[in-house]
Amino acid sequence: MEIANLTMAERIAAAASELGKRRTGLLPTSVSVVQSDGTLVITLHGALSTAEKELSKTATGAMQVQQFHRELFASNAAALRDEIRRITGVEVRDATAEVDPATGAVVAVFATGTIVQIFLLKTSISDTTWNARQTN
């Protein structure tokens, strides 16, 4: 994918997709990125393997898959945080796999194969900056 002429959201989606593939070996079917008031949400669609989706059909299995992805996220979040900071110019204040009472950040894994990652940024990014096309 050519980086020139992409919005911040498109560049973050590409980075999240590539990092997800490196982390699990699976390329998500699609990635959605939204940002508002300093909260950045990355949704990876189709990010679970067939075995993980099957395991997630039971409550116990779903908990195992969620815990596995929490651990993956915890061990690999620094790379995505760095990419977000590089792309946006804004430091990530928090990103966690558990609900943090102080910040409310969370990562959720759904049986449909969707993974949602929420990052709290140190400052907000204006709509103009967020939607501007990269020109380099």
Q: How far is CA 101 from CA 19, 95, 104, 108, in A?
A: 27, 13, 5, 16
pLDDT tier at 122, thresholds 50, 70, 90: confident
Summarize pLDDT for 24-36 with one digit per residue, the tens.
888 988 888 988 8
**pTM score over 0.85:** no
Within the chain, what is the greatest distance between any pair of CA atoms?
48
- Span 48-69, pLDDT tens digits: 888 888 887 887 887 788 788 8
